[in-house]
Copies of this chain bind each other. A is one copy, B any other.
Amino acid sequence: MTKSRAGLTELEGAILGVLVRAPSATAYRVRRVFQESRSAEWSGSAGAVYPAIRRLVTDRLIKERAEADARGTHTYDLTRAGKDAYERWLCDVTRAVGPGVDPFRTRAPLWAGLSPATQRKLAKDLKAELDEQREALTRTLNKLDAGDEITARLHIALLDLRLKWIDDQAR
């Protein structure tokens, strides 16, 4: 029964976020949002989204409505309790500010152990990759909706931070 767990997972919170911005969406549509958004940290895999939506229904955070449809289409909307849980998740400053899993920060202290030649090559490769991603993101910027643009701009700022850090290390 998953009896009212402590809090929402990141995916559950993000699903509620999608449902707030796209009311009465199907699970399929929620998946698509994750799949299409280049910023999504999740693959939007069926094996994650369908079970997560099932949990949210079980916990009465969203309500399910069956469409008059032979393929069993269902749409979802937040309940009152769902809106409360969503806002709690969204305003959880401790979690919002937490570092999460950052592969760059995990590796950074270890790079010093590489040979100088390898370090130089790595710095070059990293800059190339960062520049490429920065350009790709910048190009899409004007094609994005407001929400995705915020995510993209934050991502660009992070890339810039890393570029600057690599330059500082080289000096």
Tell me the A residues contacting B by CB distance below 8 Å: 10, 13-14, 17, 20-21, 39, 41, 87, 90-91, 93-114, 118, 122, 125-126, 128-130, 133, 146-148, 150-151, 154-155, 157-159, 161-162, 165
A94 interface neighbour in B129, B150, B157, Cβ under 8 Å: B129
What B residues does A146 contact at CB under 8 A?
109, 112
A150 interface neighbour in B39, B112, B129, Cβ under 8 Å: B112
Alpha-carbon distance between A39 and B155 when the two chains are bound, in angstroms: 21
What B residues does A108 contact at CB under 8 A?
150-151, 154
A122 interface neighbour in B17, B93, B114, Cβ under 8 Å: B93
